[in-house]
Each structure stands twice: as structure tokens, then as C-alpha cells.
Amino acid sequence: MYKQLIPVLLMTTLTTHAQEDPFLWLENVDGEKALEWVNQQNAATTNALTQQPEYQRIYEDTLKILNSKERIAYPGIRGNFAYNFWQDETYPRGVWRRTELNKYLAGKPEWEDLIDFSELSEQEGENWSFKGVEVLKPGFDICLVKLSRGGGDAVVVREFDINKKAFVEGGFKLPEAKTRVAWLNRNTLLVGTDFGERSMTDSGYPRIVKKWKRGILLKDAEVIYEGKKSDVSVGAYVQHTAGRKYVLISRGITFYETEYRALKGGKLIKLDLPKDAEVSGIFKNHLLVQPKKEWKVAGKTLSAGSLVALNYDQLLQGKHEVKILFQPSERESLGSVSSTENQVLVNVFKGGRYDELFSHTFENETWKKEQVKTPEHGTLSMISADDFSDRFFLTYESMLTPRTLYFSDAMHSELTKAKSLPAFFDAEKYRVEFQEAVSKDGTKIPYTVVLSKTAKLDGSNPTLLYGYGGFEISLQPHYSPVMGTCWLAEGGIYVVANIRGGGEFGPKWHQAAQKENKQRSYDDFIAVSEDLIQRGYCTHKTLGIQGGSNGGLLVGAVTMQRPDLYNAVVCAVPLLDMKRFNKLLAGASWMGEYGNPDLPEEWAYISKYSPYQNLSKDRKYPKIFFKTSTRDDRVHPGHARKMAAKMESYGQPFFYYENTEGGHGAGVTNEQRAMMDSLGYAYLLMMLK
């Protein structure tokens, strides 16, 4: 079940800060003056960085990798077909396609194109980007296609007949909004969207769920549930299993607090769960729940970050019949949770280094657990699991091991290799090292280093340190052909820091750097930076850092606090003005992570690290490279725009590039992604070599 986005207080009129902000005009996303400024900055940056000697080779190598026919076509299991979204030079905006599953497994797929989005964009005069589908189960013959203009989160929803390969004339259709939609049955949807006045939360997400029957006008559809305007979001979730259909309504109060209600017999029944608990799906009449804080229930004490199975029908009666499937130790955490018809597949992240996979079964009123035999010491990612059989696909990879796709078609069966990425770079030239830094408060912070086997620890190596540290998101080892080809091959060192705020060691690791403790994320990252220098991997002149979104805030904050440590900073789709983040787009939903800047007691700690407010005209900073997107409707491009403009007014050097498409990602087409990556690597090599 998707993790709910969540909270905010009422949006206010411009604050005194906003009125005094000389760069507020840059928050006007499509304003003529703002776009003129953006175009000037884009031209200056591309003129400088595309002239770097490495740029053209990096661009060509990156585009070749992104368009490679040898990439894995990741399959989604639906009935007897494998579905896939694919992009290359033939399909620049991508194609949604399918092939028979047995032919896919035999390595001889015969792809049937369902929607060519480049062709659709040309026909309709729109720059469509594919944002996924909701397929009706168990028939798998019709679906709801989500289309985004330019890659943003807001989508247009249209009903599509899969067998006819055509949109359904007079079928379900929803206008552009941050819509949540699910099939209740063939002729009924559960919809959360922009229904008009006061139907959205302050965070810009739906707060009303309606039951919309075919042939009825959307405005006349029955209201099933209505949340509060100050909530983050409200949405419906429908899970079809081989034995039963389940319907849940979620009310996201804050980013980390949710209420769940079951829809049964036309009535809503509130589930007696902690507000911090996250629902991970339903299996054999058991609700799978992850409490994020200690929970005492049914005579048991459940640790934060556990996974438990609760008898669904008993829960609807207010009773708790609990089975513990996983409880974390100090150095492990719960990863993904998936289910097939007869097993719950639980991914466990061990020591911040690698994954293990466990299968839980429920037969004859008894739960059993068995470890699934997988390749060792790498990252396991579930790609697709089938509710109507025991078929599933997962991938294995490590920092130097190309990703491999595995398949299983029965409980406890051996995994079968389905497809492997080629070795896009020579991994034999490199080694992986695991280190720990000691943060300001004495906490040990693990980090991973990838470097040449011949590298000398004399400080001369161009080193790129990556971090995130927020929202309980874990950074795990992964194989990056672009990083290997464009950075390691140039003599670079790549480092990933597992700082607090992430989820590498469970909810406590995240909560240790939340709200008033957010500075710990930055202390951890600074500690890793200093440790890299002390160990001789680099010096401050050869150390660069990179982060995006919350990671953009991370690198922005540490650069303001310790500009002496870094000589290059890639700050992508960042939050930077933390005084106004809750006024911009989805920003209000993140106050559960950062706090509310409108409250003086909370602004007191936010103000100490907010990059926009802490920029000084008198300090010397590295030449930061800001990257963002005009069509990012999650993190407002105004953050990066205003920070760059303020630096410009202070006479501080910087690079700035804003893609016109791409949403919160790097781009819509592979050409756009290749350009964004190549500008970044050309900048890093220019600054650090």
C-alpha cells in the first residue's frame, strides 16, 4: 500500500519575510520576468559546461547507456502477460507494452505496443509523460492511464481498453489534478481529486473520496469520506486477492500520522491502529502493519519498525489478534513488504550494507517463516508480485555487480535468473570499502566508498559524496552504469553516507534527526566529509557533494555551515527557503519532517539551518550548481531560483540550470536525462580534477 503523503496548517497571506524578500517574483513559475531570468542562467551554464572537454563524451556515453537495448525490461505481472514501460531512441517519450509471460521468461519476448506516448503527444499537441496505470483486477482488460504534462505529479486520468489498444470513448476521464483513484468494480471508481472549491488540502492533495459510477456526472457522485483541509491527503485503496476484495480509506493527518477506515457493507469502520502505523497491504485476511513507535497491544510490546499481521475481521470488531512477523535488532531494519497469493515477502536491510529476503506463510491457522535463498551481500528489490499466484520478480545488485532480474513461480522454489544487465564498466578495476565517521554527538555514521584499486590515499582523488537523510528513506548499494562510466572511469571516488534522518536502521534512525533535531543530519554529513579528508581519500579542494530534494536541502545547509570543506556542490530540485517551504506546492505536507516555520518556537530551530536565510555576502562559498525543473510541482523551482538570484546579488559565483520538463525527476526523455547528468559530471570534473 502506498505511503500516504501528509499535513499542514492553513496557508496564510504573505508574511513580513515574504514582503521583504526581493526575489519573491521568482516564485511565479511561468512569469515572463522569471522565465527570462531562467533562460539567461541556462544559457550561461550550458555555454560554460558544454565547452568542458569531457562533456560531449559523457553525454554520448550516458545517452548510449540510457538507450541501450541490453537494459532490463522490468516486468509487471498481470494475468499471463508481462507489462513494461520502455524508452529509447525509437520511443523518446516511452511506450507501454506487453508480451506473453512465458515468452518473456524464455528470453524471446514479442512486444505488443499498447500506447506510444511520443505518438500520442504529437497527435494531441501535448508533451505527455507516462505516470502509471491502474488495471482492473482480475480481468486485466481495462485500465486507467495516468498522463502528466511535462512530468509533474498532477495527472490526467483516462480509461483505456487494453485488448483494443484504444482509449474508451465516453469512458472514465478525470482532468488534471493530483488525483488518487482505484477500481471498486468494472463500473465504479473510488476517486480523490480536485472536485472544485475546498476539495483539496492545504498541501494540494485530495481531501474527499467519492464513489463514482459509470454514467453519473462526477459532481453528482456519492461522497464516501471527507477529511479536513488541514490534512495532508485522503485516498482510497482497493486490494483484490484470490479470495476477497478489501477497501480502505486513509486520512493522512500529517506526513507521519494516518487514520485508516475499512469500507464494508456500505459503512466505514475506523481501525484501531496507532496513528504512526503504516499499512503494508492485506494477506489472507490479515492486515500487515508497521508501527513506527513502540506499540503495546494484546499483551505484546512491539518495537518501532516491526511488521505485524492483524486478523482483519477481528480488527473490524475492535479486537487485536496479533502475529509478529519481524522485529528489528539494533543494526537492521524493515525494507519492502510484498505478497503473492500464499506468501508475504519481507525484505530485511542488514547493517546498512545488504538485504535478506524472508517468506512468511499462513496455513492451517499457523504462520511459518523461511529465508529465501538469494545472492548474498547486495540489494534486493521487489519488481512485481502477483496476488493471484505465487509468481514474483526481484532484482539483485551491488555497487560493482550489475543488476540481475530473478523469477520465482511457486513457494520455496529456487530463483531463476531471467535477465542481467551487461557490465557497462570494468568493475575489476575498483574496490568497495566500508567506513564509519563519528558525528558531533558521538554517534557512528556508516558510509560506503567505491574507488580504484590503484588509488593512492594522498588526497588527490576527485571525490563525490552523496547523501539524503530524511523521511526514513534508506540509501542502499546500487549499480549505476552512468556513475561508473562517467565518474569512476575518470578517476573519481564515489561515496554514499547513511546519515540520520534516513531509514537505514529503522524509525529511530529517522526520528533522531527530525524537526528540532534536523541539524543532526547535517552534523553527520559534515563528520563523513571530515573523515574522508582525514583518511586521505580527498582534500577540501577535491571533495564535492551532491543531493536532491531533501538531499538538496542537505547539501545547501552544510555548504552554508562549512563552505571550507567543499569545492563543488550539486544541489538538485532542492528545498532552500525554509521560511516559505510550507507555502509552496506540496511543502505544507512536510511540516511533520521539518516543523512549522510560522510558529516562532519552531522557526527558531529551522532558521539556524535554512540555507536561503543563512547565505552571507561576506563568506566564500564553492561555486554551487543548482539544478531544477520548471514543471516540478512537488518542490517549487522558486527555492533554487531565489537562492541563485540571492547569490548573484551578493556577487557569489554559481551555475544554474532549469529543465522545462521533468517534474521532480531529471527529465522526461532520455536526451533530457543525459543532458542533466552530463552537465553535472562535467561541472564536477571541472571543479575537482
Q: DSSP per residue over 521-549, as a string?
A: HHHHHHHHHHHHHHTTSB-TTSEEEEEET
CA distance 174 to 523: 46
Q: Residue 225 corresponds to which cell in the numbers above?
A: 469520506
Residue with grid cell 577535491, as numbered in its chain: 542
CA distance 217 to 5: 28
CA distance 213 to 467: 46
CA distance 201 to 589: 9
Going by C-alpha positions, the residue among 182, 290, 191, 280 that lies closest to residue 240 is: 182
Q: Residue 191 corresponds to which cell in the numbers above?
A: 476517486
Those residues whose C-beta lies under 8 Å from the C-beta of residue 413, and which sit 6 or more positions away, are none
Give counts: helices (H), strands (E), the chain: 15, 39
Phi/psi region, residue 298 (left: phi>0; alpha: psi -120 to 50; beta: rest), is left
- Phi, psi angles (nearest 5°) of residue 272: -80, 85
Going by C-alpha positions, the residue among 511, 520, 524, 398 that lies closest to residue 465 is: 524
Please report, for residues 31, 265, 550, the alpha-carbon distance to residue 558 in angstroms, rounded to integers and kept in the order given: 31, 54, 12
Going by C-alpha positions, the residue among 424, 466, 441, 434 that lies closest to residue 523 is: 441
Please report, for residues 114, 151, 421, 441, 523, the alpha-carbon distance to residue 513 in angstroms, rounded to integers and kept in the order given: 45, 31, 37, 12, 10
Q: Which stretches of 15-73 are DSSP H helices?
A: 16-20, 32-49, 55-67
Q: Residue 32 corresponds to which cell in the numbers above?
A: 515572463
Residue with grid cell 505527455, as numbered in its chain: 128
- Phi, psi angles (nearest 5°) of residue 678: -70, -40
* ∠ CA 115-119-123, rounded to 5°: 115
CA distance 495 to 449: 5
Tell me how far the alpha carbon of residue 87 is from its chain's centroid.
20
Q: Is the dihedral of CA 140, 143, 149, 153 positive or negative?
A: negative
Residues designated catalytic: 549, 664
* Residue 575, amino acid: L
CA distance 13 to 19: 10
CA distance 96 to 113: 6
* Residue 3, amino acid: K
B/e letters for 248-266, b = 16+ CB within 10 Å, e = fewer, are bbbbbbbbbbbbbbbbeee
Residue 106 buriedness (CB in 10 A; 0-12 / 13-18 / 19+):
exposed
State the first-to-last Cα distance of the chain, in angstroms, to the nearest integer.
45
Q: Are 520 and 510 in contact (CB under 8 A)?
A: no
Q: Are 59 and 675 in contact (CB under 8 A)?
A: yes
CA distance 665 to 684: 20
| Largest interatomic CA distance in the chain | 72
Phi/psi region, residue 351 (left: phi>0; alpha: psi -120 to 50; beta: rest), is left
